[in-house]
Chain A
Amino acid sequence: MRDAPLLRLALRRLRSHPVEPLLLCAAVLGGCALVSAVSLIGAVGREQATHATLSALPDARRDVRAQVRYEPAISSDAGGEAVAAAAIDRLGELVQRPARVRVWGPLAPEDELGTRLVSLTGARAPLLAGRAPAGCARRRCEVLSLSPRPAPGQSFKVGATKLQVVGRTRLPEGVRPSATVLHGRAVLVSDGPAVARMVSQSRRFSVFTAPLRPGRVEGAQLGAIADRLERHLRRLHQEDLTSIVSGPVAELRQIDRRTSIAQRRLLVIGIEGAALLIAFVAFLATTRRGEVALGNAQLAYLGASAPQRLRLRVLETALPTGLAVAVALAGAVVLAEAVRTAEGFGASFVASALPLSTIAVLCGLALAGTFVAVGWGRAPRAARGRVGPLEAGALVALAVILWQASTTGGLDPAVLARRDAGVPVVLFVPVLAVVAGGVLLLRLLPLGFRALERLARHGPLSFRLALLGVVRRPALAAGATTFLAVALGSALFSLNYRTTLVDQGQAEAAFRAGAAWRTSERAGSATSVAPLTRYRSLTREPPTPVIRTAAKMDVVDDPIDADVEVLGIPHDRIGALSGWRPSFSRTTPARIGRALAKPRARFRGPRLAAGATAIRMWARAPFQSAVTVRLLTDGQQFGALPAGGIGPAWRHLQVAIPRGLRDATLASIVVGGSSTSSAATGADFGSVQQRLAGGRWVTVSDLGDWEAPDPWGESVLVPAGFRHGPVARGIRVTFVPIGVSLIRPSFDLPRALPALGGPDIPRGRVDVKIAGVEVALDVVARSRLLPTVTEQPRRFVLVDYDTLFAYLNGTQPGLIEPSEAWFSSRPPPGLGARLRRAPFRSAAVVRQDEVERTARNDRLALDAQALLLALAVVAALLGVGGLLIAAGAMVRDEAQEQAEYEAMGVDRNAVVLALRLRLAIMAALGVAGAVAGGVAGAAMTASLVAVSGAARVPLPPIEARVTLWSCALLLAAVAGAVALATARAARGPRPSIATRLRGT
């Protein structure tokens, strides 16, 4: 073997000088361990995210479903069913045992809406009423009704068989066929020969439903599973063209895309961390240049050619780096296997944790470590203004940064978040910035040192010696300072990045919730949380009513109205909005609240007594009309009391007040029109009286201060005297016979509602249509974003709740009720369960703490934070370690010079002070560079968070954070290192001056 002597020499040198190779091995091992850990973390995160996401999907989106049709008139057998069953079987453990629903054609073929038989196998239908059926025996079958009719107790005959309905049931949500298959009346029967006889000539649909098992889906195999599922579904459809097949292929692909992007991005962050360790290798190599040069010279004298010397150096460095990679790889495999066993992941997990890309990166790290150790260990050629590979690399790095910043919008977090690229170039920007900044620093520092040394010539001797030492070995000092700046800058950057991630999670949660918690409930087709008084059973805090509704807005030059989200929040609550940022608007929330209350309206009316049990009034109308009294409760709920019909003759209307509406506000009296029109032309009313406890009637309102609102303002309400009527005085109202005819207590409504508009809402007068009502808005302020508005974050208006409530209900009382209830105190225990029970209507709740917890507990996010923290710690340790190594190298390299100074009469304390000053100068410059770089890098973190997060547009936008405490901590660490290094130099055992003078 040609290189055997070189190998032997390399091994001998490694054994004789183990410190350098050990450090090299440790650095590369650290880099490899970091990348392996990141890869493993990414794989674990992928598995868990896959499982969690699939589990959170509604059943319908997880189901593999096949619907086949059998027409006895066309085909002789039911082969389609077998094909579908077999196809689902082929998916094996991935899916649960399929449920099959058979729906036969109507028993009376001519009546499509007639009763049909349905059977269910593989799942259970809950018994809602009656009893469980006994099945079929002889010519009698017991069945369950799946529709209001036939009702339990009914029976009917199919051929010779009598079907007896014994109860009511419904098909489970996940297996229910589509409405086109299961419509009209249906009964559930037990499948069997009896049923087969009954429907032997009937067509039927069979629906197979097999939900995907989240626990059986391996994150690493998502793509393959999606492919397999798609293949099977396509094949099934091809085998039976009448079949309708579906499966969660799109969902799987989406999860695959998201998790694989996150995994790749995590890997890139890991690689960047490893790059720092490679920089450490470069720095180490710099400190050993003298020894390497001596070794090369020795070999050259002995006849070793330049390639031989290079091969020897490569061998010397490749052995430790190769060993590091081997150890890291073996450790990673063992760890991945242990994690797989502990977490119960599938067999492919190890390959997923250590994919070829990771192994390639590890090998790349070994190569980079070797290359850097060899390259940086060589003495630089002395030449001025030379553009070497380092400078070229820095220029390229700068060019990439500029290109990203200026042309592609690649540093815009929103743009980045929308991109699908797995590894956007921006992820490399930090390392490129470090390269560019590092080279710049490396080249500028010697000039700076020289200038400092000139300035210090009249200074104290120790200061002179300190700077003279730097100037005599500028490469080492510049290298150490640059490495310190790079390492500490990386640590600061990582900490800032992490803080930004954490803060962003909190900010997003606060933005999404807007309050500590808020609820909304479906009430029929509308959303309403009224009556708000129900929430007293949950918390002592009175709920803040909020209206959230959609509106249409005219857009100039666009025939289609734009959708706008309208939010009505009490003006005095706007100042306490969670998730608000000063950057949203130039106006503070408190001032916005005050602005929205000028002018302000409030729905008012006479209040019924708490003990009032009935109300009454005299009324008449030119035409037959129905009178309804509307009340508004304290819980912001409108109640309607039909008081009866009226005609041309006076009628005394009396209506009892239900218990829930006592103590309410009299909101309006609606006069319904004839059967052909909902509007009335007019009516006369006497005063409204209430019956108090004890049967005494007292007047609530004489209606004299009421008004008859309509959009055109043409209805007229005037006091009137009725000479021959049962009441002498009252009111007469003349309606515009369009829309709803009503009278209500009078209160002022502004012509235009003061509003806060989103970026797409113009300032000034804006007309929107809310629930069919034209509403004029006066946009007095604008905001970039508004907490809780996430669907269309640029198109929203915010108005005062009371004003909006009065405005909308002013013309149609009961048109709108509060759609959300907001709370600022901590959610009560068991909130979710309590909201699912009466009197609540399965209220949906958004809790800030839960949103925050979900974001915080996201495995990938957690892993990224842990990784960044680890990176920061490693970088800081490397920086401090580098300083200590530099101090050691200086003491070693300058031993002879220092001995000369001592021989001249300089005392040892002055020499140590010089070393201390020099380290302090280097540390100060390094820390300054690190802080500058770290703070400058922090501005970039917003972009990075956008791409390394969940690959979605973040709301609110990411704001970079700078952690001052981390700067202080790093400063303390560096100061400690300087003190330690100099203390070691001052107090450690040292050879005599004579020994050092001889250089031995």
Chain B
Amino acid sequence: MTVVAGRDVYVIHRAPSGDVAALRGLSLTVEARETVAVLGPSGAGKSSLLAACAGRTRPSTGDLDVLGVSIAAAGPRALDALRREQLALVPQNFNRALPRDLTVEEIVGLPLRLLGRWGAAARETVAALLRRSGLTTRAEARPRELSGGEQQRVAVCAALIKGPKLVLADEPTGQLDAVHSKLVIDLLLELSGEAGASVLVVTHDPAIAARTARTVHVRDGRVSGEGAVEPVLVVDRQGWLRIPRSVRDAAGLHQHVRASARRGAVVLTADDEPAPVAATRPPAAERRRQVASTAVGVEQLDKSHGTQRIFQALTHEFAPGRLHVVAGPSGCGKTTLLDLIAALDVPDRGVIRVAGEAIDAGDALAAAAWRRRTLGHLSQHASLAGTLTARENVELGGAARGMAPAEARDAAERWLEWVGLAALGDRPAELLSGGEQRRVALARAVIGEPSLIVADEPTAHLDRANGATVLHLLKRAAAEHGATVIVSSHDPDALEAADEVFPLGSVGSKGAATCSAP
């Protein structure tokens, strides 16, 4: 039985800034009990595919049947019934799935209550699920008392308790470290298997894709290929073929190719001038300011959040001109350490020295002045002003650092070029993809040519290619600019790109850190 049958599906979103085509002729089928991973870069249309399958977005054209219900033609009641009884939705952000006011037990049982199936059997089902997911002891806890991994497990249990026919999971491990990711994905697949449900899971993580029976690659709103390692490229019904970047890079293909056909093969030959090198070089002024004096040292650092101790006597030295990755499981204090280094928080005890100077985050005005002079900060949740263009957002960063308008404008141009987005400078930020937005945020962070760059999970929610681009830029900033770049991440690509990894907690021990997290 076919659970999802999509054919030439187009989804066009109407936005104040203009219409955006999220899906452009996507065709996909998912059979009963099949597990399918959807891979693709940010903005490729993965989440739109899931939203359409959940009946939250109706196809603009094309046919999409989910469990025999035509999403385009079904009425709101039919779609409601479909979602309530046969679909399970597991979100990327567990904050969006767990009511803050209910206990774990109540949250897991709520879908059955809403279905009117509450009773002794239902209570037993809830208890069994909590046992399976290792949450029995947290049954009375509320979401804010749980770790991220626990919350996501609660979300999985709540989604699957009603015995759905189709599970739609949107990057269910996007905010989790590897350990918790494994726990959650195991639970998801096990419960789905027991319920006999098909699974359509959107992810960037090849490890998760490897756990599913089938992998589908989506690009530009279409299925571009199938298969995990070397995907079979898909030529869609209109004849469009998407060549992955890795293939293009390997072949040296850029904008123009010559195609010749022979029996059973199409040969593409590059027909471009070599790509300009200057665009990827750091600005000249930056190269001249290479310094080696921005070593960051933490000495005997203690930090607690309430009763929970994060560090105790943490001591480490971050050398300049290198990309440092602070690694460790969720809850281990990676972000806290970066916040302390960036003078965004005050340690309970200990000293942080940057270029030999002790940082006092307690003196707000002095700390702000120091950040203006020295720091480039890239937050995990960095948000751009959507109504401003990419250039205006970067200019704003310059203005925040005290630059004159003309100076900020020139600097914004340079740094947009540096992150490879000069051509998109006039586009409103809300129309940029997630990866592009992250690069604009990076340009905004470094516009003041800081000697210390702190980036918290810079590759989170990005596809691998975009993540690699961001890491590449950070590495260049360290290598060519001489800045000390400190990144927190549990992304394996980041660990691989790091000049130095500073593990916290159970990941390893490179320094004198202790960690209370599991």
Interface string of B450-485 (1 = CB under 8 A from A): 000000000000000000000000000000000000
Are A997 and B368 also in contact (CB < 8 A) when A2-B116, A302-B114, A382-B14 are?
no
- B80 near A307 (CB under 8 angstroms)? yes
Chosen A-B contacts, 30 in total, with CB atoms closer than 8 Å, are: A4-B113, A9-B110, A16-B101, A298-B98, A301-B89, A301-B97, A301-B155, A303-B83, A303-B85, A304-B84, A306-B76, A308-B114, A899-B344, A900-B383, A903-B342, A904-B371, A905-B368, A905-B400, A906-B372, A907-B364, A907-B365, A907-B369, A908-B364, A994-B335, A994-B336, A994-B339, A997-B339, A997-B344, A997-B379, A998-B335
- Complex CA gap A136/B382 in Å reads 115
Classify the secondary structure of A's interface with B: helix
Beyond A305-B80, A905-B401, A994-B345, 20 extra complex contacts between A and B, CB < 8 Å: A5-B110, A295-B99, A298-B96, A302-B97, A302-B107, A303-B85, A305-B81, A305-B83, A306-B76, A383-B14, A384-B16, A458-B405, A902-B368, A903-B375, A905-B370, A906-B368, A992-B339, A994-B339, A997-B344, A999-B381
- A900 near B379 (CB under 8 angstroms)? yes
- B336 near A468 (CB under 8 angstroms)? no
- Complex CA gap A992/B81 in Å reads 45
- A300 near B385 (CB under 8 angstroms)? no
B346 CB within 8 Å of chain A: yes
- Complex CA gap A904/B382 in Å reads 11
- B387 near A471 (CB under 8 angstroms)? yes
Residues of B within 8 A of A (CB): 14-16, 76, 80-81, 83-85, 89-91, 95-102, 107, 110-111, 113-116, 118, 155, 158-159, 162, 335-336, 339, 342, 344-346, 364-365, 368-373, 375, 377, 379, 381-383, 385-388, 392, 396-397, 399-402, 405, 444-445, 448
| CB < 8 Å neighbour of B381 from A382, A457, A998 | A998
Residues of A within 8 A of B386 (CB): 472
> Which A residues between 267 and 302 are near B, CB-CB below 8 angstroms?
294-295, 297-302
| CB < 8 Å neighbour of B400 from A294, A295, A901, A992 | A901
> Which A residues between 951 and 1000 are near B, CB-CB below 8 angstroms?
992-995, 997-999
Are A909 and B339 also in contact (CB < 8 A) when A294-B96, A994-B344 are?
no
Which chain B residue has the least Cβ–Cβ distance from A904? B400
- Complex CA gap A12/B107 in Å reads 12
A221 CB within 8 Å of chain B: no
A430: min CB distance to chain B, Å: 34
B370: min CB distance to chain A, Å: 8
- B346 near A908 (CB under 8 angstroms)? no
Residues of A within 8 A of B400 (CB): 461, 901, 904-906
Residues of A within 8 A of B (CB): 2, 4-6, 9, 12-13, 15-17, 294-295, 297-308, 382-384, 450, 457-458, 461, 464, 468, 471-472, 896-897, 899-909, 992-995, 997-999
Residues of B within 8 A of A384 (CB): 16
Residues of A within 8 A of B84 (CB): 303-305
Which chain A residue has the least Cβ–Cβ distance from B96? A297
Residues of A within 8 A of B448 (CB): 905
Residues of A within 8 A of B116 (CB): 2
A818: min CB distance to chain B, Å: 80
| CB < 8 Å neighbour of A904 from B113, B155, B365, B401 | B401
Residues of B within 8 A of A900 (CB): 377, 379, 382-383
A308: min CB distance to chain B, Å: 6
- A5 near B118 (CB under 8 angstroms)? yes
B56: min CB distance to chain A, Å: 8
A988: min CB distance to chain B, Å: 14
Residues of A within 8 A of B107 (CB): 302
Which chain B residue has the least Cβ–Cβ distance from A453? B387
- B101 near A13 (CB under 8 angstroms)? yes
Which chain B residue has the least Cβ–Cβ distance from A901? B400
- Complex CA gap A58/B461 in Å reads 89
Which chain B residue has the least Cβ–Cβ distance from A299? B99
| CB < 8 Å neighbour of B114 from A5, A294, A992, A998 | A5
- A298 near B97 (CB under 8 angstroms)? yes
- Complex CA gap A302/B95 in Å reads 12
A927: min CB distance to chain B, Å: 26
- Complex CA gap A762/B264 in Å reads 109
A598: min CB distance to chain B, Å: 75
- B381 near A997 (CB under 8 angstroms)? yes
- A464 near B396 (CB under 8 angstroms)? yes
Residues of A within 8 A of B388 (CB): 468
B129: min CB distance to chain A, Å: 14
Residues of A within 8 A of B155 (CB): 301
- A993 near B345 (CB under 8 angstroms)? yes
B342: min CB distance to chain A, Å: 7
- B385 near A472 (CB under 8 angstroms)? yes
Residues of A within 8 A of B377 (CB): 900, 903-904
Q: Which of B111, B375, B445, B448: most chain A CB closer than 10 A?
A: B111
Q: Which 4 A-B pairs give the minimum distances between C-beta atoms? A: A905-B372, A994-B339, A5-B113, A305-B80
B334: min CB distance to chain A, Å: 12
A920: min CB distance to chain B, Å: 21
- Complex CA gap A997/B97 in Å reads 21
Which chain B residue has the least Cβ–Cβ distance from A450? B387
Which chain B residue has the least Cβ–Cβ distance from A383? B14
B400: min CB distance to chain A, Å: 4
| CB < 8 Å neighbour of A12 from B101, B365, B368 | B101
Which chain B residue has the least Cβ–Cβ distance from A11? B101
Residues of A within 8 A of B385 (CB): 468, 471-472
- A16 near B387 (CB under 8 angstroms)? no
- Complex CA gap A905/B339 in Å reads 14
Residues of A within 8 A of B98 (CB): 298
Which chain B residue has the least Cβ–Cβ distance from A909? B365
- B396 near A468 (CB under 8 angstroms)? yes
Residues of B within 8 A of A9 (CB): 99, 101-102, 110
A554: min CB distance to chain B, Å: 75
- Complex CA gap A997/B111 in Å reads 33
A449: min CB distance to chain B, Å: 10
Residues of A within 8 A of B97 (CB): 297-298, 301-302
B239: min CB distance to chain A, Å: 34
- A905 near B373 (CB under 8 angstroms)? yes
Residues of A within 8 A of B382 (CB): 900
Residues of A within 8 A of B111 (CB): 302-303
Residues of A within 8 A of B375 (CB): 903, 905
- B83 near A300 (CB under 8 angstroms)? yes
A877: min CB distance to chain B, Å: 31
- Complex CA gap A994/B310 in Å reads 14
| CB < 8 Å neighbour of A298 from B99, B368, B399 | B99
- Complex CA gap A31/B89 in Å reads 42
B314: min CB distance to chain A, Å: 16
- A896 near B371 (CB under 8 angstroms)? no
Residues of A within 8 A of B96 (CB): 294, 297-298, 301
- Complex CA gap A6/B90 in Å reads 22
B447: min CB distance to chain A, Å: 9
A11: min CB distance to chain B, Å: 10
- Complex CA gap A280/B15 in Å reads 29
A288: min CB distance to chain B, Å: 14
Residues of A within 8 A of B83 (CB): 300, 303, 305
Which chain B residue has the least Cβ–Cβ distance from A474? B387
B275: min CB distance to chain A, Å: 32
- B379 near A382 (CB under 8 angstroms)? no
B416: min CB distance to chain A, Å: 17
A898: min CB distance to chain B, Å: 11
Residues of A within 8 A of B336 (CB): 994
- Complex CA gap A895/B465 in Å reads 31
- B15 near A382 (CB under 8 angstroms)? yes
Residues of B within 8 A of A992 (CB): 339, 344-346
B188: min CB distance to chain A, Å: 14
- Complex CA gap A302/B379 in Å reads 30
- A303 near B14 (CB under 8 angstroms)? no
Residues of A within 8 A of B159 (CB): 301-302
Which chain A residue has the least Cβ–Cβ distance from B76? A306
- B399 near A461 (CB under 8 angstroms)? yes
A998: min CB distance to chain B, Å: 7
